[in-house]
């Protein structure tokens, strides 16, 4: 039995010159305008464009979390970078979203410290390398004048109360999610020094919270992805002495916890 192709109609408006060019090209190739336009769209969508990687991560957050858990928590990087720039963007966006639903709730400074440390290091890299600083945005968020970025930012951090409203905490994290810091401009070596593994591990639970993961769901993930440790039995004999060493190992699904 032949399969049927599902068709759907979408009305699009294009410039007259583009329509005429499509008609001319279709005539040369002895095909219909619709078939030609469909082919161009299909080929275009198969081409990887800047930002596509991030949207693929967002499209399947469950798979993304599992991948990041393997890389960050288990250290299964297989010789590649711990996380990509798109993955860093995903982590930072979700970490900020963890505070969005916190109206009338308080956030302790340790929960923010790691992310504000990252913000500081990104700003310091821009200043040290004479890169453009999004002055208008940073001045508004952190109440800076821009005369000495690092001194003013450090003074702001020092004056920050140990406990702040979660909505204000979310406000302070906006530069990380926005285009204020373009990670594509920063070399891999510098990024690795800013987004260190201990920092990523500290931010990981915030990312899960931003995705509305429950503690139980996180524990289930840890148990499912827990590495398999095979059981080993070793026997050592020396004359009449016999010593048996047995290691039970760790099997998939055994109890574990999310770091």
SS3 237: strand
DSSP 191: H
Alpha-carbon dihedral sign for residues 191, 195, 196, 200: negative
Q: Please give the model's pTM, rounded to 2 decimal places.
A: 0.71
In terms of domains, do 123 and 61 share one? yes
**pLDDT band at residue 10, thresholds of 50, 70 and 90?**
confident
In terms of domains, do 39 and 155 share one? no
In terms of domains, do 105 and 173 share one? yes
pLDDT tens-digit readout, 24-56: 788 878 888 888 888 877 766 665 555 678 888
Give the per-residue pLDDT at 112.
Answer: 86
In terms of domains, do 86 and 183 share one? yes
**Count: domains in the chain:** 2
Rg (CA), the chain: 26
**Residue 101 in domain:** yes
**Residue 121 in domain:** yes
Mean pLDDT of 143-152: 95
What residues contact 18, with CB distance under 8 A and at least 6 apart? none
**Residue 229 in domain:** no
Quote the strand ranges of 30-122, DSSP E: 106-108
158 against 238, higher pLDDT: 158
**pLDDT band at residue 111, thresholds of 50, 70 and 90?**
confident
In terms of domains, do 155 and 175 share one? yes
Give the per-residue pLDDT at 47.
Answer: 59
In terms of domains, do 127 and 23 share one? no
Cα 58 → chain centroid: 9
In terms of domains, do 33 and 131 share one? no
Q: What torsion, rounded to 10 degrees, do the Cα atoms 51, 53, 56, 61 define?
A: -110
Scan for tokens 């990887």, then name that residue.
Answer: 48
In terms of domains, do 62 and 33 share one? no
Give the containing element (helix H, strand E) for 225: none
In terms of domains, do 30 and 59 share one? no
Q: Which domain holds residue 177?
A: 53-213
Q: Which two tokens stand for residue 198?
A: 């201990």
Give the per-residue pLDDT at 256.
Answer: 46
Give the containing element (helix H, strand E) for 123: helix 109-128
In terms of domains, do 129 and 185 share one? yes
């Amino acid at each position: 039995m032949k399969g049927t192709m599902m068709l759907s109609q979408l009305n699009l408006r294009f410039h007259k010159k583009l329509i005429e060019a499509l008609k001319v090209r279709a005539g040369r190739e002895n095909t219909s305008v619709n078939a030609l336009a469909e082919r161009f769209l299909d080929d275009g969508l198969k081409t990887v464009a800047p930002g596509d990687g991030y949207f693929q991560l967002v499209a399947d957050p469950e798979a993304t979390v599992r991948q990041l858990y393997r890389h960050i928590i288990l250290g299964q990087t297989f010789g590649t970078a711990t996380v990509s720039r798109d993955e860093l963007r995903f982590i930072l966006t979700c970490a900020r979203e963890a505070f969005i639903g916190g109206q009338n709730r308080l956030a302790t400074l340790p929960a923010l410290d790691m992310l504000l440390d990252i913000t500081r290091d990104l700003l310091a890299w821009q200043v040290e390398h004479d890169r453009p600083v999004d002055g208008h945005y940073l001045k508004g968020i952190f109440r800076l004048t821009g005369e000495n970025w690092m001194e003013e930012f450090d003074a702001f951090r020092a004056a920050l109360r140990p406990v702040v409203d979660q909505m204000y905490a979310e406000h302070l994290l906006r530069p990380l999610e926005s285009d204020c810091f373009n990670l594509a401009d920063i070399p891999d070596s510098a990024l690795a020094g800013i987004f260190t593994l201990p920092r990523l591990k500290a931010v990981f639970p915030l990312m899960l919270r931003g995705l509305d993961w429950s503690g139980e769901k996180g524990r289930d993930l840890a148990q499912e992805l827990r590495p398999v440790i095979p059981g080993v039995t070793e026997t050592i004999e020396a004359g009449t002495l016999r010593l048996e060493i047995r290691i039970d190992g760790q099997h998939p699904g055994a109890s574990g916890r999310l770091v």
